[in-house]
Structures are given as structure tokens and as C-alpha cells.
Structure 1
């Protein structure tokens, strides 16, 4: 069984949420039933891989112990940078080892298996690091073990997000909705699930079929462009569909999981795109990598200007995002590519008089949208791992 995939998962999900609907419509707390369902679904998903289940359990327990210990040290010793850095590094180590293991040997045991990795590691990592950073900032002053574990393991968002924030999750965790409030939440959740199914099944499947049947391994310009577009549409419908179903399921269980996509292909510039695409991931990197780098650089006068500091921050931010996807060259190139685009956009929008004069003009917005869309689709070609083959094939074709 896999999350939001296959008839067995959806039949189980439908059966499982019926009691939740009854509980919610009667104005009762969903907290205990939601926790029970998370345990059940984790068992069903991981039962065929006891090693993954063991590492998921171990990493979650370690994370709970670590944040509790770090919170205690923060209260007793203040903003000690050694303890802060140690907590971040300990949390980061399994993720680094998993990425290295996957890159170097596709698993030390072969067949793509990994010792350190497990389904959901990357997304749990984001939640743990966010909690540690906000403890360091003094924003979080209490950790309830049961609430923290459900925040890490909440099953709709465990394997691929969206990436929630602990304080936002906490607002919903103990909330008891009235029947009327829950009825609205339920209807919104069902609508999101239905849209997710539409995205995930016919639309994603059609884009994949076109890509694999008509576009792949053909290196004339038309087929390369067709591959980039069909792959980009496949990525969007597949991931946005998953995200919508995760968000909708969260709603039905009383958690208002944040949306992850907002019409990204209507973006009028690359900055607008990253405010619409994989929103919870891009905003996580913005808040915890870019903004902190920029503030630290300005306070230490590391660069001559704020614009230079912002440009360096954008490059670091996007390169790290690429590395997070994997250590393969095409993932790193994808991150660097988008970093360069964001730097160019930042410099152009801050320095260009033409932009300031025309940015609200309708024709300008249409041209900017068209350029942005094609830059984004070229980025997906890089991300797909087919960029090098397409470049070599195109050179051969043009000869």
C-alpha cells in the first residue's frame, strides 16, 4: 500500500474517515481518533519494510528526545550556539547519510535499498529543524510529546508534504469544531480530494502518456520542447494532485493543512512562480535559509550592498534546495539554474527603469508570463535528468 495511490489505500481511507466525519459533525474532539488513524496507516504503509518502520520510529523518538533536551538547555542556558548547532547537525545527519548512500551506491545493500533512509525522512526533517530553530529564537517555549509526534507523523502529509509549521499545527490540534464549522471543513476537504483525484489520475496520467509515447528520446527542437512541457505538466498534476488529497484529508481530520500550489503556470515572473509552486517548501527555505542568511550578512556587513547579499542568499537558497532533492548533477543544476533566474529577476526589478515604468502594463505582463513559463519548463527539462541527453541529441540533429 502507498499513500494516495492504489485502490486498497482509497478503500481503507474511505472506511477510516467515516467515523471521523461522525465525530466531527457531532461537535466532538477529533484528536484521539486522528492519532489512532495515524498509527494504523503508518503500520499499513510500512508493514512490508520493517527496517523502514524501525528507522521511522527511531528517528521520530530521537527527534522528540532531542527537541525536549534542546528546549531544556535553551531555558537553562539561553541561546548557546554550540547546543543549537549540535541539535541541528544531529537532526541533519540521517538525511545527509541517506542522500550520500543513495547517490554513491543506490543503497549499500543494493537494489535501491538504504540503511539510513525511509519514506518521509525529508519531510519529517523539515518539521524537526523548524522546531529547533524556533526554540532557539525563543518562539517555542513548550513541547508536548504527543502533539509533537503527531505533528511529525500526521499520515496525510508524512511522505510528500505539504510541510506544516508546528505552531500552525498546534492551533488545530486540540480545536473542537462545532457541527456547523466541521461541516464547512468537511465540504472543503471533499472538494480538495476530488480535485486531487482529477489531477492525479486522468490529467497526470495523460501528460505521462504523451511524454513517454511521443516525446522521449527524440531530439529535434519540437520534441524537446514537447518533452519539457509534458514533463512539467506531469510533475504539476501528479504532485499537486497528491498535495490536494493530503490537504483535503487533513481538513476532514480537523487539521487545516496549508495549500501547496496556487496556479503556478500563470506566474508573471520567476519570483511569482516560487510563491505558487510547492509553496510550503519554497517558503520554508525562504524563512529559514534565505532570510536568516540575509539578516546575518547585513548585520555583519559581509557584502557591500543589500542587493548583493540578497543575490548571494538566493543562490545559496536554491542550490541547497536542489541538493535536498538529491546529489545527482541534474538536481543541483536545477537549483543553481533557478538561483540564477531569481538573481537576474531581483537585479532587473531593482535596477531597471523600464521594469518600473511598464510592470503594470497588460502587454508587458503577457510577455513576462510567456517568458517565465518557458524558463520554468526548461527548468523541468533539467530536473528530469534528460537535459544532457537533449543537448547532445540536439547538437547531433542540427549537424
Structure 2
């Protein structure tokens, strides 16, 4: 039986587009075929976990039951009370499966990761945890079990995002776009599909499958001669960074395009990140839904907690600590390896320096024009590329193995 990994090869798109035709026809004529949409999502999820990955199918079923009970239970509780300890406990339980999977991988607890892990567990955890957080805030007041399942198991973005928000998704899924709007969405979908193919199957393929192994081999050989350092790290740094962008941006374009065909305006994940003038702007353009998730649910809440408890008086110090804490959490989320944690710390410190520079410019009226903007873009691009070299883990392979 077929085993289809999301957006991995042209064959996937043949089955996907054929399956979406009835949905597109229905939406064009002003009708959302809910039952068919659910069947399509479930079939593609089944095929994703078919074959050697059947155990992941059992894992996602168990995970969904766990999260369904948690969100439903906390929604019932929140109608009657709002105890902080209960909220923290519910949040901890929501992220517990992900934490266990992340810890089990570097500890080589294969049986644990096999039992609980599945493709997309991080992004589904972000969705359910955000629902608990927004329920605590009062933004979400009721629990609709049917909409919850459709939100969590929305097929286009189940494996790697973009990370949607429940209230935005609910608004789309319970309505039908006008014919004019839907035609516009289809036009965008076609463009995103073609751009995604260019990014993922041409540019990323060349960078990752042709050019990167060649550079990597030379870098390792040169490092053995020069005891660790090699100038080949420079082309490796740019190649791996650009490959990371084109591969993930291509995937994200496919996910957004598919959701548009299904009448859902899934948020975009990238917005010309390499034209950013500083690191803060970069994180507003790079993996946007993840960046904003961490900003809204970790950074802002951490700042609010410090200010509410009056642990630190200085707002600058508070934001600096929050930057580092937020990015360290992001680093740990990527994995319990030193290079992921160092990557998070790198960007945390970088954001602190970035804010300090912005304050300095305002205080001393540093000139601002198109040339300074160009210099800022070049500096930011190279800083980001350096961080991607760290993120790639290649230094671990090169120097510590």
C-alpha cells in the first residue's frame, strides 16, 4: 500500500490534486463539503503513517485522545474557576508527550520515541497548548469537539506547519468564501504551487543533494589536515543556510496552497527573510507562525510574569532576559543537542544586541538612508548564515567526532 510523505515527490501532488477536485467544485458553487474534507484529511494522514510508520499512526491516535481530553477538561474547569496552578498543570500535561519524545531521542530510548513519537507532534502540540492558553485568557470560551479535531488534524499543515490559531481557523472552516474570493485564492494557490516546486524540487534539490555533499566532503578532508579549521566552512555555511530556506519555504508554500484550495487561508510562513535589516525583523519574516507563537505565548507571558511579580524593575533588563529565555526554549525545542541550544542562545544574545543598537541609534541620531539599510541587510544576512552553520550540527561532526 502507498506511503505518501507530505509534499515529498510529484506523485503526492497527483493524488492530492485529484482528491481536492470535489472540494474545489463545491466551494466554487458556495458549498463546503465537510464530510468529504474530513475523509480526505484522514486518508492522507493514514497514508502518511502507512507501511513502516504504522506505529506513528497509533501514536497520533493516542496523542489526539490525550489532547482532546485535556482541552475539553480545562475548558469545563475554566468556566467555573481560574486557578493558576491548574492552568500550569494543564499546560504541562499538554506539552508532556513532546517533552518525552525530545528527551528520549538523545538518550537513545528508542522504544519510548517509537511509542509516542510521530511526524508533526511538535506542531500539533503548539496548536493544543495555544488553545489551553487562550482558554485561560478567556479568548476561547467553548469547546467544540468536532471543530477541535478538524483544527488539529487539518491535513495540509499537519507535519510541519504553518502553525494556525484556533479562532482564525474556526472563522474560516465555519464559512464559505464568496466565489470572487475563492477564485482569487485558487489563483494564489496555483502560483504558490509553482513557486514551491521551484524552491523545493529545483533550487533546494541542487543545493542539498548536489552541491552540499561535495562541499561537505572537502570540508571534512581539509579539517583533518588543518586540525579542525577549514575555509570550506564558509561555502558550506551559505549553502546549508540557503538550502534550509528553500526547502522549508517550498514546503510551506505547498501547505498554504493546499489550504487555499480547501477554502482555508492558512497563514504564510516566510516573507523575504533575507532582506531583513536586523535580527528582530528577521524573526518577523522567518518561520513567522513559529516565531509569533513563541513571541505571544512565551516571550510576552514571561515578560508579564516578571513585571507582575516585580522581580526586575528595569524594562530593558526584563526584555533582555526574556529574549534569551525565549530563544533558548526554541533551541531546546529543536533538540537536546549543544548546537541547537547554542543556536538559541546565539539568537537570544543577538536580539539583546539588536535592541541595544536600536536604542543607541535613537539616542545619538545615527544617520539612516538606503546605504545604511543595504549595509544592515548584508550584516544581518551573514549573521543569520553563521547561526545556520551552528544549527546544522556540522561543527559537531567536524570537530567532536
TM-score, normalised to structure 1, is 0.93
Give the whole-Å Cα distance in 2 for the aligned partners of 1:216 and 1:68.
52
Contact 1:204 1:234 in 2 (8 A): yes
> Counterpart of 2:258?
249
How many equivalent pairs are there? 388
> Counterpart of 2:85?
82
Q: Deviations over 1:107-137 (max 9, x none)?
A: 237xxx6222111110000001100000001
> Counterpart of 1:381?
389
User: Could you tell which deviates more after superposition, 33-42 or 376-385?
Assistant: 33-42
> Counterpart of 2:380?
372
Gaps of 5+ in 1: 394-399
Give the whole-Å Cα distance in 2 for the aligned partners of 1:300 and 1:269.
31
Residue 106 and residue 223 in structure 1: after superposition, are their counterparts in 2 closer, same or farther (change >3 A)? farther
Contact 2:323 2:352 in 1 (8 A): yes
TM-score, normalised to structure 2, is 0.93
Residues 231-250 of structure 1: pairs in structure 2 closer than 5 A: 231-250=240-259
Runs of 4+ off more than 6 Å: none
> Counterpart of 1:210?
211
> Counterpart of 2:290?
281
> Counterpart of 1:396?
none
> Counterpart of 1:300?
309
Q: Deviations over 1:240-293 (max 9, x none)?
A: 000000000000001100000001111111111101100000010000000111
Give the whole-Å Cα distance in 1 for the aligned partners of 2:178 and 2:291.
34
Matching residue within 340, 362, 367 for 1:331: 340
Contact 2:55 2:114 in 1 (8 A): no
Q: After TM superposition, give the deviation of residue 188 of structure 1 in Å.
A: 1.1
Give the whole-Å Cα distance in 2 for the aligned partners of 1:7 and 1:377.
30
Gaps of 5+ in 2: 224-228
Contact 1:349 1:355 in 2 (8 A): no
SS at match of 2:105: helix
User: Could you tell which deviates more after superposition, 99-108 or 249-258?
Assistant: 99-108
Q: After TM superposition, give the deviation of residue 352 of structure 1 in Å.
A: 4.0
Give the whole-Å Cα distance in 2 for the aligned partners of 1:149 and 1:3.
19
Give the whole-Å Cα distance in 1 for the aligned partners of 2:399 and 2:374.
29
Contact 1:261 1:277 in 2 (8 A): yes
Contact 2:339 2:393 in 1 (8 A): yes
RMSD: 1.8
Matched, 1:100 2:103: yes
Residues 135-284 of structure 1: pairs in structure 2 closer than 5 A: 135-208=135-208, 209-218=210-219, 219=223, 222-284=231-293
Q: After TM superposition, give the deviation of residue 327 of structure 1 in Å.
A: 0.5
Residue 188 and residue 264 in structure 1: after superposition, are their counterparts in 2 closer, same or farther (change >3 A)? same
Q: After TM superposition, give the deviation of residue 50 of structure 1 in Å.
A: 2.7
> Counterpart of 1:24?
27
Q: After TM superposition, give the deviation of residue 82 of structure 1 in Å.
A: 2.2
User: Could you tell which deviates more after superposition, 301-310 or 250-259?
Assistant: 301-310
Q: After TM superposition, give the deviation of residue 153 of structure 1 in Å.
A: 0.9
